[in-house]
Structure 1
Amino acid sequence: MTFQELGLKAPILKALTEQGYERPSPIQEKAIPPALAGRDVLGCAQTGTGKTCAFAAPILQRLSARRAKGIRALILTPTRELALQIQENILAYSRHLHLRSAVIFGGVGQNPQVEQLKKGVDILVATPGRLGDLYNQKFVDLSRLEVFVLDEADRMLDMGFIHDVRRILGWLPEKKQTLFFSATMPPEVQGLVDSLLVNPVKVAVDPVSSPVEVIDQRLYYVDRGNKTKLLATLILSPEVRNALVFTRTKHGANKVAGDLVKAGIAAAAIHGNKSQTARQQALADFKSGKVKVLVATDIAARGLDIEELSHVFNYNLPDVPETYVHRIGRTGRAGHGGTAVSFCDINEKEELKEIQKLLGKPIPVVEEHPWPMEVFEPLPKDKKGRTVNPEDAEARAAAKEKRRQRDAANKAAAAERKAKTAQKAAPVESPAPVPEKPEKKRPKRGVRNSATLEEALVATAPARPAPPEPHFGEFHRPDPLASEVIMDATARLLAPRKLARPQTEGRRAKELPGQQAPQQEKTNRKERRGQGKKQTPPPPAPAPMPKNGRKKRGGRGHSGRPPEVVLRTNGQKDSTEQPSLMKPYYLSDD
């Protein structure tokens, strides 16, 4: 069967051809047709069988049939590496379609992911933790979801995400298509399937938990202290192009990677304590060939899609038999051959027995190697029957020492910040002033002491400023605070004013009874000057009352005519007609 016969559209077929896909794998051949028909699918297949294309191609074809806004497909994965791998595949399959996809996961800042969500996303690939965070912050809207994919459901159970998955299911619309994939089907996963899927189409490829037949499996019995030496020797052989090494603890991954680097082998560690940036960088260096060996914990047992991985090494056998299948499934992907090498010491005999029971056959043992097993006495067990593993004790001791160093560094940093704060808040103490010695007063040279009291008073009296010299040829402005200026201004202010109005042309000023005309007043002034200053002019006659018995007001009357001119009859000059009214007083001969 070909991809054309599955019913896929031309843009998707073109993208698959560009990716080198010629014929569909068994899981793709069985899962794509019912998924295109809108049915729920329950797929049981191990890793490396092409599950991503089995659910990605039907999703792309369904969403490209009509345009709509919002997140229309959600793919939930357990690990960050698997989420990134799925996103890369979706981008490759949809290169000829107008669909947008995004991936969100923890361990990195959320702002770039939020900005991508705000631009609009059709397909969202997510891990449970980051999806819950962004959903609670109202950055993710799942109300328009059409397709939901739960990948590696059994791994979700192993990593403790089953409760998060149940909570996320409550956010999804009731009417949707669900594609469910899992390599194993433990009871908890089966209960999730029964509550989530509606009349699903079951697709099973190979027996559950069976390894790919093309993988060459080998077993080495070796003591715990010689595992690193044997590992370095095998990796340096020409047949090992690249290798993925699995350890049981994070401390063990760091230790093995460090020992390989000391042996001259380019190696890097990847585990949960590493930041997402460090994990992505290590994985990128491994894929590009800069790093030959990648040492990882079981967190990387799934989701790592590395093309043509030649070898997988189980430095420690896993506690769960199914995990062995996931580990060795990193090689032999898509039908390619590969080699899986496992080390077993005396304390791992029980784990080996369970794995071989799951496989249904023993793993071939390599007898001849430089470090055969010499310790045949197992380690003691604790009160609960658990083996006291030295590696676990080393890991706990290393973690305790790391916490101690971190706490000491935090305390030192806090003390330093506290000291700086106290130093800034404390007032700057100025040095105590040095008391100055009083200088002895010495008499000035050429100065004689006063002989009498009068002479002393004259000598100590303040000097009076000399009067200003007159300025000739310049404008002299009098002092406004001088007594003469003040008295003159006061006299000008109190002097009676002449109420005169310019006479209009063609009209004569009216003479009021008891008053004289201006020409007659001038003649009287000349006569008074000739008679002398002692003669006093007669007082002016009072003005007659008007007929209505009311005095005229100073302003315009009811007739609208301006007030009549009142002329002086006593011959006194106005203050504006003489230089100073006070002049006779302060210039008198008295």
Structure 2
Amino acid sequence: MAEDKLVIKTFTDLGVCDKLVEACENLGWKTPSKIQAEAIPHALHGKDLIGLAQTGSGKTGAFVLPILQALLESQQAFFACVVSPTRELAIQIADQFKALGSGFGIKCAVLVGEEDIMEQYINLARLPHIIVGTPGRLVDHLSNTKGFSFHALKYLVLDEADCLLEDKFQKSIDEILDVVPRERKTYLFSATMTRKVQKLQRVCLRNPVKIEVASKYSTVNTLNQHYYLVPSKYKDCQLVYILGEKRGFSTMVFTRTCGATRLIALFLRNLGLRAISISGKMTQPRRLEALNQFKEGKCNILICTNVASRGLDFPCVDIVINYDIPESPKDYIHRVGRTARAGRLGVAISIVDSYELESFSKIENCLGMKFTELPFQLEEALLLMERVSEAKRISRRRIQESGSKEKKRGGDDGDEDTEKYLGVKNGKLSKRIKK
């Protein structure tokens, strides 16, 4: 009879020290996820890693715990650097370092764009152990901040590595790799493995261990994926219909453009739905405030671009809606990965018009599955058409009016209506959010 395989039940079984096991328990982490169970033992034995796993599978913990354990044994400034493609993800990663390492005096600094650079200078002067940042701002500080360097760096992590290797980040990543020591531990983590990631593995890793708990393109099996085939002129009505049917559920709606996020959020609010938008054109304080409103449940609908699709961990997103179908299957995977996280159930709904059928078919083919088609209710759409059209007309007029005011006073994104909704006064966030 074959021997039973060892079943790992705790972080202690992986080799995590007692102090960090206790910290995990304080966060409610009782059982390692699959990527953590496979990656952490190799990391604790000093191996470079390539971690490939679906979003929501615990990838962040898989590199945070080994780094903290090594840091507890030998504390030094600028011990590790984690590079993230987005500011929000960088802040979230730093929060996890702080949560797990707060009891041990671990200091962490976040270096991202559109945040007060003077405050970042001060934080770096305090000699933090962990640096988490976006590529451009990291390079800025490495070039211009006295006393800050990576000459003694022990760990380098590229999170969402496939995104970091896109053209817009390539120059900054190359500059970072030029100044980090060769004698270091390097981890690449991603939900999707691309040729660029494979190329980088040859350049900056030494005999890495590849941990693959997902195929190149896959979603978790707790995610139910559906679609509606809808004439393009009824897409807005279909969206309102779905949100009305799912009223009260925590929902993320993905669009293609920043302008669309704002328009959709406005007309949904005009229809009495608690929607808020986030996009790359918003200032960082507004983006963070919108995320907080969504996390705290003050708004249960977040209208967003792909800026919110990477790595952000919202504990209880029930539904992801693709209002616009992404051209890349990789983007679809990251979008729908905002729900059905950590073993929970989730729903993904795509609203597909005739112009998007090719992109949608590509997603199905890459995932090797057919989604469930839900019947488009023409009668319901016609009943909603007048109200939706009027709400959109009012919203467009408000956008035009607020845009004219912002131009006169030199504002940044013209989102005066969102300012009121967030509780912003004179460009600054108020402490109390008015209902």
Q: What TM-score, normalized by structure 2, do the two folds share?
A: 0.84
- Summarize the Cα distance change of 1:95–1:143 in structure 2 as closer, same or farther, 3 Å threshold: same
- Summarize the Cα distance change of 1:44–1:123 in structure 2 as closer, same or farther, 3 Å threshold: same
- Fraction of identical pairs, as percent: 36
The 3-state SS of whatever aligns with 1:236 is helix
CA offsets per residue over residues 256-286 of structure 1, 9 Å max, x none?
1111111101111101100000000000010
Q: How does 1:120-519 map to 2 (within 5 A)?
A: 120-139=127-146, 140-158=148-166, 160-238=168-246, 240-370=248-378
The 3-state SS of whatever aligns with 1:241 is coil
Q: Which runs of 4+ in 1 moved over 3 A?
A: 370-374, 398-410
CA offsets per residue over residues 426-477 of structure 1, 9 Å max, x none?
xxxxxxxxxxxxxxxxxxxxxxxxxxxxxxxxxxxxxxxxxxxxxxxxxxxx
- Correspondence for 1:64: 72
- Correspondence for 1:33: 41
- Summarize the Cα distance change of 1:7–1:409 in structure 2 as closer, same or farther, 3 Å threshold: closer
Is the 8 Å Cα contact of residues 83 and 303 (structure 1) preserved in structure 2? Answer: no
CA offsets per residue over residues 495-537 of structure 1, 9 Å max, x none?
xxxxxxxxxxxxxxxxxxxxxxxxxxxxxxxxxxxxxxxxxxx
CA distance in 2, matches of 1:373, 1:259: 16
The 3-state SS of whatever aligns with 1:217 is strand
- Summarize the Cα distance change of 1:368–1:145 in structure 2 as closer, same or farther, 3 Å threshold: same
The 3-state SS of whatever aligns with 2:102 is coil
1:8 is matched by which residue type in structure 2? V
Point out the more displaced range, 72-81 or 109-118: 109-118
1:358 is matched by which residue type in structure 2? C
2:35 is matched by which residue type in structure 1? I
Once the 2 structures are TM-superposed, how far is the Cα of residue 244 of structure 1 from its aligned partner? Answer: 0.5
The 3-state SS of whatever aligns with 1:170 is helix
Is the 8 Å Cα contact of residues 217 and 366 (structure 2) preserved in structure 1? Answer: yes
2:179 is matched by which residue type in structure 1? W
- Correspondence for 1:24: 32
CA distance in 2, matches of 1:243, 1:302: 16
Is 1:85 the counterpart of 2:92 in the alignment? yes
- Summarize the Cα distance change of 1:403–1:309 in structure 2 as closer, same or farther, 3 Å threshold: closer
- Summarize the Cα distance change of 1:233–1:337 in structure 2 as closer, same or farther, 3 Å threshold: same
Once the 2 structures are TM-superposed, how far is the Cα of residue 98 of structure 1 from its aligned partner? Answer: 2.5
Once the 2 structures are TM-superposed, how far is the Cα of residue 369 of structure 1 from its aligned partner? Answer: 2.4
- Summarize the Cα distance change of 1:404–1:239 in structure 2 as closer, same or farther, 3 Å threshold: closer
Is 1:100 the counterpart of 2:107 in the alignment? yes
Is the 8 Å Cα contact of residues 265 and 275 (structure 2) preserved in structure 1? Answer: yes
Is 1:73 the counterpart of 2:71 in the alignment? no
The 3-state SS of whatever aligns with 2:104 is coil
CA distance in 2, matches of 1:399, 1:185: 40
Once the 2 structures are TM-superposed, how far is the Cα of residue 224 of structure 1 from its aligned partner? Answer: 2.3
Once the 2 structures are TM-superposed, how far is the Cα of residue 158 of structure 1 from its aligned partner? Answer: 4.0
Once the 2 structures are TM-superposed, how far is the Cα of residue 159 of structure 1 from its aligned partner? Answer: 6.7
Report the structure, 1 or 2, having the larger helix content: 2
The alignment yields a C-alpha RMSD, in angstroms, of 2.2
- Correspondence for 1:392: none
Report the structure, 1 or 2, having the larger strand content: 2
Higher RCO (CA < 8 A, seq sep 6+) = 2
CA distance in 1, matches of 2:300, 2:114: 25
The 3-state SS of whatever aligns with 2:372 is coil
- Summarize the Cα distance change of 1:60–1:403 in structure 2 as closer, same or farther, 3 Å threshold: same
CA offsets per residue over residues 403-428 of structure 1, 9 Å max, x none?
99877766xxxxxxxxxxxxxxxxxx
CA distance in 1, matches of 2:297, 2:405: 35
The 3-state SS of whatever aligns with 1:103 is strand
Q: Looking at CA atoms only, which structure, 1 or 2, has the larger radius of gyration?
A: 1
Is the 8 Å Cα contact of residues 35 and 57 (structure 2) preserved in structure 1? Answer: yes
- Summarize the Cα distance change of 1:16–1:159 in structure 2 as closer, same or farther, 3 Å threshold: farther
CA distance in 1, matches of 2:56, 2:124: 30
Q: What TM-score, normalized by structure 1, do the two folds share?
A: 0.63
Is the 8 Å Cα contact of residues 121 and 145 (structure 2) preserved in structure 1? Answer: no
- Correspondence for 1:45: 53
1:89 is matched by which residue type in structure 2? Q
The 3-state SS of whatever aligns with 1:181 is strand
CA distance in 1, matches of 2:272, 2:217: 36
Is 1:110 the counterpart of 2:117 in the alignment? yes
CA distance in 1, matches of 2:285, 2:167: 21
The 3-state SS of whatever aligns with 2:315 is coil
- Correspondence for 1:486: none
1:168 is matched by which residue type in structure 2? I
Is the 8 Å Cα contact of residues 223 and 372 (structure 1) preserved in structure 2? Answer: no
1:335 is matched by which residue type in structure 2? G
Once the 2 structures are TM-superposed, how far is the Cα of residue 320 of structure 1 from its aligned partner? Answer: 0.9
Once the 2 structures are TM-superposed, how far is the Cα of residue 119 of structure 1 from its aligned partner? Answer: 1.1
1:90 is matched by which residue type in structure 2? F
Is 1:119 the counterpart of 2:129 in the alignment? no
- Correspondence for 1:506: none
CA distance in 1, matches of 2:379, 2:209: 51
The 3-state SS of whatever aligns with 1:162 is helix
CA distance in 2, matches of 1:403, 1:133: 32
CA distance in 2, matches of 1:195, 1:159: 17
Unaligned stretches of 5+ residues in structure 2: 1-7, 383-397, 411-435
Is the 8 Å Cα contact of residues 244 and 295 (structure 1) preserved in structure 2? Answer: yes
CA distance in 2, matches of 1:303, 1:146: 24
